Amino acid sequence: MAQHTPSAGSANPLDRSTALYERVPMAIGDQHTFAEVKTAVESSFAASNVATFLKSVQRAALRIRDFESVLQAGKLGAQTASLYAKLTNGDQGQIREFYLASLEQIDLALRNKFFKLYAYY
C-alpha cells in the first residue's frame, strides 16, 4: 500500500502546526457585566496595584491560581464576585482564563518575591 506524501508543489490549505493554539472567539453574553469583571481583574494586575494584590492574597493564605477562592475572598473587589455570578458559564470561563493569563504575565522579579504564591504545594 502506497503512502500519500504531499509534493513540494501541493498547497496545504490548513496549517495544523498552530491549530491547537488558535482560540475561537466566543460571543460575550452580557457585555456590560463582563467588562466590569474584566476591569476589576485588570485593575488588580495593574503595575501600581499588583504588589498590593499579591500581598493581600498571601496574607489570606489563598492559592493564587485558585481563581474562585481569590474572587470569593473579595481580593478582586467587593462586588466582583456577585457580578461574576451573573455571567454565563462561557463568560465566566473567559474571565478565569484572562485572570490566569494575567497572573503569568507578572514581572519575574515580583513573581520571585512572591514565590510561595506561585509554587505548587
How large is the average pLDDT for residues 54-81? 95
Q: pTM value? A: 0.76
Cα–Cα dist 97/81, whole Å: 16
- In this prediction, residues 75-103 reach a mean pLDDT of 95
pLDDT digits (tens, 9 = 90+) for 20-62: 555 556 788 889 999 999 999 999 999 999 999 999 999 999 9
- Most distant pair of Cα atoms in the chain: their distance: 66
Confidence at residue 105, expressed as pLDDT on a 0 to 100 scale: 94
Tally of residues, the chain: 121
Question: What's the confidence (pLDDT) of residue 12?
Answer: 53
When pLDDT is cut at 50, 70 and 90, the band that residue 17 belongs to is low
Cα→Cα distances 75→39, 61, 71, 102, 116, Å: 13, 12, 6, 15, 17
pLDDT at 121 over 90: no
Residue found under cell 460571543:
27
